[in-house]
């Protein structure tokens, strides 16, 4: 018989958590096809002037806001290209806002406020698959023509034919059952079947880990497809502090083979845009010409260097 959690030493508690987090990674691997589909959709949306919009409550909402907030410094994403919406607003980032996740009207208003359109991709994040705020937001996004996805960790929220037990899932797209069935039934589903939590119902644990991994993959793959990296280098990094300035200089040196001093000089000449600086150094051109070459290459550094 398993020992109660409160009677376990820390090492045994952590061993249980390790096992749960291993399931989280397996769940993300199992959903690779669906996650790739969401990344492609996000890249299409952003590349055509639309947005990637996350909607969630509690831990799910915070993870969406976190991922969205990291896109500008990592990929020089323009303000508003990736948006995180959380039930309860900014206050909910640091404290629980009672009843916020149950407020369907607020979910609907949040999508109306940002004026979602058919150019956008809206991804609802709800471990249970039943959060009213998120489902209402997705229904409103559907109504406005946006492409909608939902990330869930509970396979019982899916609606294939009823089956005994938890059933099997490949992480592929599916329809949603009651209470969500019929409300945005066109949503594409990313199922992260992480199983029961070490502390039942605490979705900040394995479900939260799997969700963070999935969001990392969606935006990283999307921005790679949009030309924001060169090899494994973060060439569109926004050098907003000393650490990132050094990283930008190192990237310019690595791409062009120039010394640190020249890289620093051209980073300044480029207006602190590492990708532009790389083209200026490698092609021996002005900032304006480097920007023209990058535009012609649709933002891909490799095309600007080789074209």
pLDDT at residue 163 in the model: 41
List, for residues 248-288, the tens digit of each pLDDT value. 999 999 999 999 999 999 999 999 999 999 999 999 999 99
pLDDT band at 198 (very low <50, low <70, confident <90, very high): confident
Same structural domain, 140 and 266: no
Q: How many domains does the chain have?
A: 2
pLDDT of residue 159: 61
What residues act catalytically? 70, 101
Residues 77 and 176 in one domain: yes
Is residue 230 a part of any domain in this protein? no
Domain holding 146, by residue range, is 5-225
Q: For 125-170, write each residue's pLDDT tens digit.
A: 999 999 999 999 999 999 999 999 999 998 887 764 444 444 444 4
**pLDDT in the model for residue 154:** 87
| Single residue among 225, 250, 267 that ends a domain in this structure | 225
Give pLDDT tens digits for 102-115.
Answer: 999 999 999 999 99
Phi, psi dihedral angles at 152 (to 5 degrees): -130, 160
Q: What is the pLDDT of residue 1?
A: 59
Tokens of 184: 């945005």
Say which CATH number the domain at 173 has: 3.40.50.10490
* pLDDT at residue 106, rounded to an integer: 97
| Same-domain check for residues 64 and 176 | yes
CA 53 – CA 65 distance, rounded (Å):
10
250 and 218: one domain? no
- Which segments of the chain are extended strands (E)? 52-56, 82-86, 121-125, 147-152, 188-191
Could you give the CA distance from residue 266 to residue 91 in angstroms, rounded to a whole number? 42
Q: Judging by beta carbons within 10 Å of its beta carbon (0-12, 13-18, 19+), is residue 203 exposed, middle or buried?
A: buried
Indicate whether 272 and 219 sit together in one domain: no
256 with 164, same domain: the answer is no
134 & 250 share domain: no
**Domain end call among 225, 260, 288:** 225
Residue 271 inside a domain? The answer is yes
Same domain, yes or no, for 33 and 88?
A: yes
Q: Per-residue confidence at 203, pLDDT binned at 50, 70, 90?
A: confident
Closest CA to 154 of 60, 91, 248, 226: 60
Report d(CA 204, CA 207) in Å as an integer. Answer: 6
Q: Average model confidence (pLDDT) for the chain? A: 90
* Residue 62 per-residue DSSP state: H
């Amino acid at each position: 018989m398993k020992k109660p959690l409160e009677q376990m030493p820390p090492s045994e508690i952590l061993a249980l958590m390790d096992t749960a987090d291993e399931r989280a990674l397996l769940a993300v691997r199992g959903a690779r096809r669906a996650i790739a589909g969401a990344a492609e959709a996000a890249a299409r949306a952003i590349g055509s002037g639309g947005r990637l919009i996350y909607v969630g409550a509690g831990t799910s909402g915070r993870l969406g806001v976190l991922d969205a907030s990291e896109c500008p410094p990592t990929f020089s994403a323009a303000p508003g290209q990736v948006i995180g919406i959380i039930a309860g607003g900014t206050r909910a980032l640091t404290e629980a806002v009672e009843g916020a996740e149950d407020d369907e009207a607020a979910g609907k208003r949040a999508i109306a406020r940002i004026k979602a359109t058919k150019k956008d991709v809206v991804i609802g994040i709800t471990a249970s698959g039943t959060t009213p705020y998120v489902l209402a937001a997705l229904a409103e996004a559907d109504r406005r023509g946006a492409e909608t996805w939902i990330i869930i960790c509970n396979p019982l929220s899916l609606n294939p034919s009823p089956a005994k037990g938890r059933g099997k899932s490949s992480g592929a797209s599916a329809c949603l059952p009651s209470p969500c069935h019929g409300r945005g039934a066109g949503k594409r589903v990313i199922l992260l079947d992480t199983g029961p939590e070490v502390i039942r119902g605490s979705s900040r644990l394995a479900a939260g880990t799997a969700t963070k991994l999935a969001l990392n993959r969606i935006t990283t793959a999307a921005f790679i497809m949009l030309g924001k990296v060169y090899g494994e280098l973060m060439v569109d990094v926004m050098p907003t502090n000393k650490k990132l300035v050094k990283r930008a200089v190192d990237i310019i040196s690595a791409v062009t083979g120039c010394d640190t001093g020249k890289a620093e000089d051209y980073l300044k000449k480029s207006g602190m845009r590492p990708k532009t600086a790389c083209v200026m150094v490698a092609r021996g051109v002005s900032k304006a010409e480097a920007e023209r070459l990058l535009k012609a290459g649709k933002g891909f550094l490799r095309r600007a260097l080789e074209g």
